[in-house]
Structure 1
Amino acid sequence: MRLKPLVATLVATFSLSLSSSALADEGMWQPHQLPELESILKAKGLEIDVESISKLTEFPMNAVISLGGCTASFVSPKGLVVTNHHCVYGSVQYNSTPENNILENGFLAKSPTEDLPAAPGSRVYVTKTVTNVTDEVIKGTNELTAKARYDALEKMKKR
């Protein structure tokens, strides 16, 4: 009798896993993929021209930067960036003091001279070029076993 609940649970789990994968839609694309997906994106409601957001080294995409795990955008020609609070929490904490706890009180720079520095070690990464290396990476891996192919691709990533 104990087997029936187990079988029922396994059947239900298997059925649910099949139904969700049948409805799956990728939903996240890299900018260079957008032109080939234009009709799909337009059908989903995209109203802007995909060409305007498909080139990472041109406006507006070149205004998007990486803060090492978070994204941000340039909002001035002098390098001022805007991002989410949790992305710069360490810098806010770095600039806080017992007398002026910015974490609790907030902060507003009314002029560029009042801006506070980022914490030591903070980095902003800006995309300068984008190179498609797919052919170079997969060259000669088709005839390899799955494990050998995995190892070769891992080695290639670490170059």
Structure 2
Amino acid sequence: MISVAVHRNLLRLIGFCTTPTERLLVYPFMENLSVAYRLRELKPGEPVLDWPTRKRIALGAARGLEYLHEHCNPKIIHRDVKAANVLLDEDFEAVVGDFGLAKLVDVRRTNVTTQVRGTMGHIAPEYLSTGKSSERTDVFGYGIMLLELVTGQRAIDFSRLEEEDDVLLLDHVR
């Protein structure tokens, strides 16, 4: 599935190796790690993301998802869009990665799953209640990632319980 999607804003698979005991995937080195790291876990002296860079990241991630949803054949639903899965190359260009939960869309079949997959705080409410994943599932996750990008906060943060009742970033922002 990873080799089907080739776009500058999607993590490119360089190669793989399979042995009886290991399976390895080889990807390009992402020098600036992830958006989540750049927003929250910086070491002293590392640059914080400025607003023009954050905008470029948001647009790059959107382009990558748009490619998965509109230009891949068959379409691909990522199902785990979040700041930790948007990686940053040496120029801070966004690269959507981690396709471990991705699903090919077969228009002839339903996309209802018996087990909801994804990261809490990023999962669309309708996916939780119906088990049906779609492009809308990724759009919801992208929206939460945008909130993370703008606020610098995590999608779920239990430390907010000390001051308020809103653990979810979406509720906190609302």
Task: Work out which structure has the larger RCO, using CA pairs closer than 8 Å and 6 or more positions apart in sequence.
Answer: 2
Larger Rg: 1
Instruction: Say whether the fold is shared (TM-score over 0.5).
Output: no
TM class by shorter-chain length?
A: under 0.3
